[in-house]
Structures are given as C-alpha cells and as structure tokens.
Amino acid sequence: MGSPKQSPLDEVKLAMASTNELFNTEVFGKRNFAALDQIYTSNARILPPGAAMVAGRESIKKFWSDLIQSMNAKSAVLASIEVLPAGDGLVEIGRATLTAEPPGQAPAQMEVKYVVYWRQEDNRWKWHVDIWNQSA
Amino acid sequence: MGSPKQSPLDEVKLAMASTNELFNTEVFGKRNFAALDQIYTSNARILPPGAAMVAGRESIKKFWSDLIQSMNAKSAVLASIEVLPAGDGLVEIGRATLTAEPPGQAPAQMEVKYVVYWRQEDNRWKWHVDIWNQSA
C-alpha cells in the first residue's frame, strides 16, 4: 500500500522539473520576475550567448526582464537530457524551446541547449551556473 | 625550507591549467588531435554553438579536427574565471580567445566564455561536459 518508494535522485529530479516549470509558466508565461528568486541562487551566474557573464540574482532578474519584454517572449519549455550528481550539487544537460512574438515580426521559435550547475539554497534546488547556446 | 605547501584545490588548479594548456599548444597549435585523449573523458559531451551536442571522445576528436582545419585555427588561450568544487568533480567558468587564419580571409579573433564540468579519469583531470558561446 502507499506510493512506491522513490530514490533520492528521482526525488531531486522531480524538484528540478518543478523549478524548470516555474521558469516557463511564471517567468516567461506571466512575467512574474519575482519567481526568479526561487529559480536562481543569490550569487548565481548566467553566461548568455552574445553577451558578457551576468553575476548575482538581481542582475539576472534584470537580464531576463529586459530580454523577455523586448522579444515579447511567451514560453521556455525545458527538458533534461542528463543529470549528473556532483557532490552537493548536480550538473544538468538539457534542451529548451523558446517562443516569442516580436512586435512587427513573425512569431519565432528557437531551439537551445544548456548546461546548468544546480545547488540547494533555502531547501530548494536552484540554478547556480547557467549557460546556453543555440542548437542550429 | 622546501617549497610552500599547496592546498589540494591549488594542486587541482595547476592540473587544470596544464590540461587547458594542452588544448592550446597541442590541439590548436600542433594539430595533435591524439592529445584530446588527455583532455576529454572517454564519454565526454560537448555542446557547441550552432550545432547539436556531440557525445563520446572519438566524435569530439572528429569535431575539433574538422573545425580547426576548416578555420585554419591557430590558438585557443583559456583562462579560468571561477573553479567550484563539486563532489568528485569541479565546475569551471572560463573565457577563451580563439585565433584563426581562414584561407582567403583576414585573420580572425573570437572571444568565448565556457563552462566545463571536470572529472578525473586515469589519474588526470579532464573535461567531462564542455559548453561555450560567444561573448559578443
């Protein structure tokens, strides 16, 4: 009786999927940039293509707010390809599909791949280092 | 007397710098692609911009061999920005300057930034996951 036992890694993967889904539904879908507090560690780094590294959650929030609004971005659907346990953290390889409706332009879809180094902060699994590039 | 004691992390950083330097002098400088055996783990993954993920050292060797020869690449000078211990591995954030002399074109220089997840294999520190993008 009861639900089947999950391995610790399976539980972590569920927590990761929940964080990834927040990025799609709250940040991209609702432009709720405060949700980024639950997604990035306070001293996270992002390494966006075509730009310098951005350090610290407040600067990262500005980055995503500016980008999502200027592109009129609509969604960012993330999927893990591999999850590698790494001490207190995890290394995730994944892919994402971004959609946007830039003003005066045709709707756009972009395939990217990424590596995220995850750490726990305040009992949540969060992105500590986040880098991505286009897949084609 | 004797040389000053180094912390284990300092020793690892020296080993990392030695691997990074091999990539520049042997792989880019001398087109010694066999040196990639000492740089990537056997089941490493690379995530190059504008292309699909490449899995496994033999495929990675073909990737670099093709790219370096087609661009007539000359050097890849790597510099660590941050090294984060991650269990048995390490997460490195770094930047690289690539130079190339493409046939019939002006010499080119490209600034990239990268994240590498390092693991030990055969007593060497090697790149297990390697992703990069352009800095501008």
Q: Is residue A3 part of a domain?
A: no
Q: How close A118 gets to chain B, by Cα (Å)?
A: 10
User: What is the pLDDT at residue B7?
Assistant: 78
Q: Is residue A63 part of a domain?
A: yes
Residue A47: closest C-alpha in chain B: B113
Is A2 part of a structural domain of the chain?
no
Query: How many structural domains are present in chain A?
Result: 1
Domain that holds residue B71: 8-134
Q: Which residues numbered 45-104 in B keep a CB inside 8 Å of some CB on A?
A: 45, 47-53, 81-82, 84-89, 91, 93
What are phi and psi for residue A69, nearest 5 degrees? -75, -40
**Do A69 and A79 contact (CB within 8 A), yes or no?**
no
Output phi, psi for B34, to 5 deg. Answer: -65, -25
pLDDT of residue A55: 98
Mean pLDDT along residues B103-112: 94
- B3: in domain: no
Question: Is B129 in CB contact (< 8 Å) with chain A?
Answer: yes
Q: Does B13 touch chain A (CB under 8 A)?
A: no
Alpha carbon separation from A120 to A18, A64, A125, A127 (Å, rounded): 14, 21, 4, 9
Which pLDDT score, from 0 to 100, does residue A3 have?
58
Most B CBs within 10 Å: which of A92, A129, A130, A134, as the mutation test of the B interface? A129
Q: Does B125 map to a domain? A: yes
User: What does the buried/exposed string (b/e) look like for B22-32 if buried means 16 or more CB atoms within 10 Å of the residue's CB?
Assistant: bbbebbbbeee
ipTM of the complex model: 0.94
Q: Please answer whether residues A21 and A30 qualify as being in contact, where contact means their C-beta atoms are separated by less than 8 angstroms.
A: no
Would you state the pLDDT for residue A7?
A: 78
Q: What CATH number is associated with residue B46?
A: 3.10.450.50
Per-residue H/E/C for chain B: CCCCCCCHHHHHHHHHHHHHHHHHHHHHHHCCHHHHHHCEEEEEEEECCCCCCEECHHHHHHHHHHHHHHHCEEEEEEEEEEEEEECCEEEEEEEEEEEECCCCCCCEEEEEEEEEEEEEECCEEEEEEEEEEECC
pLDDT of B2 over the 80 cut: no
Average pLDDT over residues B46-57: 98
pLDDT tens for the 136 residues of chain A, in order: 555 667 789 999 999 999 999 999 999 999 999 999 999 999 999 999 999 999 999 999 999 999 999 999 999 999 999 999 999 999 999 999 999 999 899 999 999 999 999 999 999 999 999 999 999 9
Task: Please report whether residue B1 resides in a domain.
Answer: no
Is B115 in contact with A47 (Cβ distance < 8 A)? yes
Residue B48 in domain: yes
Quote the pTM value: 0.95
A1 found inside a domain: no
Nearest to A115 among B86, B88, B115 (CB): B115
Q: Three-class SS of residue A111?
A: strand
Please state, rounded to an integer, the average pLDDT across all residues of chain B: 95
